[in-house]
Amino acid sequence: MAALCVRGRAGRFALHWLWAALFLVAVATRAVAAEPITVRVDQALIMKLPERAATVVIGNPLIADLSIQPGGLAVVTGKGFGATNFIVMDHGGAVLMEKTVEVKGPNDRIVQVYRGLTRQTYSCVSECEPRITLGDTSGGDVDEKSGIPTDYFNKTLTQTVTRDNQAMSAGAGTSR
């Protein structure tokens, strides 16, 4: 084993450069590992899971959802605006992966129309058509005390739950 010995000012200079290089490598490694997954609301992203993945824990399933597919693939779906995380574990409970998921708004051309406290969103890809977006309201029933429309959110939530249940039951009938 060879030993390196440098004395005086040159030794301290070399030691400072060594520490700086080690620090930069550590910071760069953490930055790459901590890079979040970005997905848009109502869109999906396919990613590869680590070997031996058995369990996925979602921090907030109202923001993003993740479903494991055959072949070690996962589908990440943006459900609501914000950030959450997911953790992938093996059968023994060992953490194989932990990632942050950022869910952003739609990137298509949209127009938002405000009428007092109400907001409606339109998707204007080819022609402007109504689009259900989190935070939208409608001109239906209005709460007498607050003046905020009440029916739109509840109807949208009911439709979303119904759609999710139909998709889950359709997926349960397929063979893998």
Tens of pLDDT, residues 137-159: 765 566 666 555 566 666 767 88
Backbone angles phi, psi at 166, to 5 degrees: -65, -40
Q: Of 87 and 12, which is predicted with more confidence?
A: 87
| CB-based contacts of 107-114 (< 8 A; 24+ apart in sequence) | 107/40
For the stretch 31-86, pLDDT in tens is 345 689 999 988 999 999 998 898 899 999 999 999 888 888 999 999 988 999 99
Q: Which residue has the tokens 């609301």?
A: 41
Question: Is the whole model's pTM more than 0.75, yes or no?
Answer: no
Q: Is the pLDDT of residue 1 over 80?
A: no
For the stretch 99-148, pLDDT in tens is 999 999 877 788 888 888 778 888 888 888 877 777 777 655 666 665 55
Comparing CA positions, the residue from 47, 57, 105 lying closest to residue 85 is: 57
Residue 150 burial (C-beta neighbours within 10 Å; 0-12, 13-18, 19+): middle
Contact between 67 and 88 under an 8 Å Cβ cutoff? The reply is no
Cα separation values, 30 from 23, 36, 56, 58, 59, Å: 11, 12, 22, 22, 21
CA–CA gap between residue 34 and residue 36 (Å, rounded): 6
Cα–chain center distance at 149: 29
Average pLDDT, stretch 167-176? Answer: 66
